[in-house]
Structure 1
Amino acid sequence: MPTPDWRYEKSSSAVKALCRVLLTELGENQRADIQIALHDSLKLLCDAITAECLVPETGIEPATFALRVRYDAQQLQDIPSIHWGISSS
């Protein structure tokens, strides 16, 4: 069974890739399909974060994991036209 860390890595990569795809010229049906995939990927990402924080055997402190999630969110901000309302301070 995949670990929460593995699920986080994969879903995070999928979210970033789908955000980049949404910046390209797509037809209405294609955009709708990508938006659904992005929604599903974000759900998987949230599930991975929850699992990571609830499993004490990972050895990862919640604060350390929160910094990692924040770093990934800042990488998404670097994609033009995508701003999630996360301050860099």
Structure 2
Amino acid sequence: MNAKEFHEKHGRKVVDQVREKIGMSLCYWYNIKNGQVGVSSEKALTMALASDEVTCGDGMQVVDLLRLRDLPARIVGTGKDEA
């Protein structure tokens, strides 16, 4: 799930826990959530790990945070092994 879906599903209290864990401002969070600013791969991984810890396995995913979900699997590298 991406930042917007995460916020809608878990609410502001959980989002604040994730933000505090990684030291992110509320303004920056809302910019990410609303798609006004992108995140680096390092920040996406940090956010995904922190959200996973706070929600016990129901966190954001790096692929969604980097907006790679709609790209073809062969480009992103998430294709299934056909061997």
Task: State TM-score, norm by structure 2.
Answer: 0.36
Larger-Rg structure: 1
Task: State TM-score, norm by structure 1.
Answer: 0.34
